[in-house]
Homo-oligomer: A and B are copies of this chain.
Amino acid sequence: MVKKSVQEAAERAVRLPAEQRRGLILQAATAVFAERGYAGATTDQVARAAGISQPYVVRMFGTKENLFLEALERALGKLTGKFRSVMADYDAGRLAGQVAGLDPAVGPGRPEQLVPLLGAAYADLIRDRGLLLILMQSFLAGHEPVIGARAREGFLGLYQLLRDEVGLDTDGARDFLAHGMLMNTLISLRLPEMYGQDATANELLECTLRSKLQVVVAASKGD
């Protein structure tokens, strides 16, 4: 029966190695949770986004809570990974072209030079749809016993990274986090999608995102 096999090809997901499938589901979950929050997202929405059936999502991750946790873990890992790789590049002198005066001995020190680099790296992460936003959603889920606890740890971990590895002082780390939270808020509010349509929104976006505006606007519009 040709008809049946066509139907199957359309409705049935191709068999994939479990690890690869997990990755795809986590990616889909990140996007869905980022948009709708932990409570607002359904495992069925994740399943559709990943192109598989709802029970299979649950089967692979046990519970919705655990799925969120794993997506959160992945996001935290990618963020800290990116930050550390920027620092490694900087310390190895591989960013010579992008930084004005590269000698921390004179002029601005390493932390001060790293801040704009890390800020740009942060904004760049929005390409991975939902990565920053699922973090933000976890921060707003402080009342959830398991997820909230992990979110607290993760947030404090970021602060420690800024302080101990980047070398920022207390106020510097705070300011970096503050601007990160503002960026997340603007993205969550979907202001980048209004770019060009509202003068106030434009002003705020330009001033907040500076060099990374194009990236963020493009990513938000589903590029």
Q: Give chain A's interface residues, CB within 8 Å of chain B.
A: 35-40, 136-137, 139-143, 148, 151-152, 155-156, 159-160, 170-171, 173-175, 177-179, 181-182, 184-185, 188-191, 194, 198, 200-201, 203-204, 207-208
A–B complex contacts, Cβ < 8 Å, 19 sampled: A36-B39, A37-B37, A37-B39, A37-B140, A39-B40, A140-B188, A152-B189, A152-B191, A152-B201, A155-B191, A159-B200, A171-B207, A173-B204, A174-B208, A175-B178, A178-B178, A178-B181, A181-B181, A181-B182
* A190 CB contacts on chain B under 8 angstroms: 142-143, 148, 152
Contact A136 B143 (CB under 8 A): no
> Complex: how many Å from CA A143 to CA B189?
8
A188: chain B residues within 8 A (beta carbon): 139-140, 142
| A181 contact set on B, CB distance < 8 A | 178, 181-182, 184-185
With both chains docked as a complex, state the minimum distance between the C-beta of A9 and any C-beta of chain B, in angstroms. Answer: 32
Residue numbers in B under 8 Å from A143 (CB-CB):
35-36, 190
Q: Which of B37, B151, B189 contacts A189 (CB 8 A)?
A: B151
Question: B189 near A155 (CB under 8 angstroms)?
Answer: yes
New A-B contacts (9) at CB < 8 Å, excluding given A136-B185, A140-B185: A36-B39, A136-B140, A137-B140, A139-B189, A143-B190, A148-B189, A156-B201, A178-B178, A181-B181
How many copies of the shown chain assemble into the complex?
2
* Interchain CB contact under 8 A, B39 and A152: no
Which residues of B are found within 8 Å of A137, using beta-carbon distances?
140
B37 close to A156 (CB less than 8 A)? no
Instruction: Give the residue name and chain of the B residue nearest to A40 (CB).
Output: B39
Which chain B residue lies CB-closest to A35?
A: B143
CB closest residue in chain B, given A206: B170
> Closest CB of chain B to A199's CB: distance in Å?
10
Q: Are A200 and B160 in contact (CB under 8 A)?
A: yes
Known contacts A148-B190, A207-B174; decide if A185 and B37 are in contact (CB<8 Å).
no
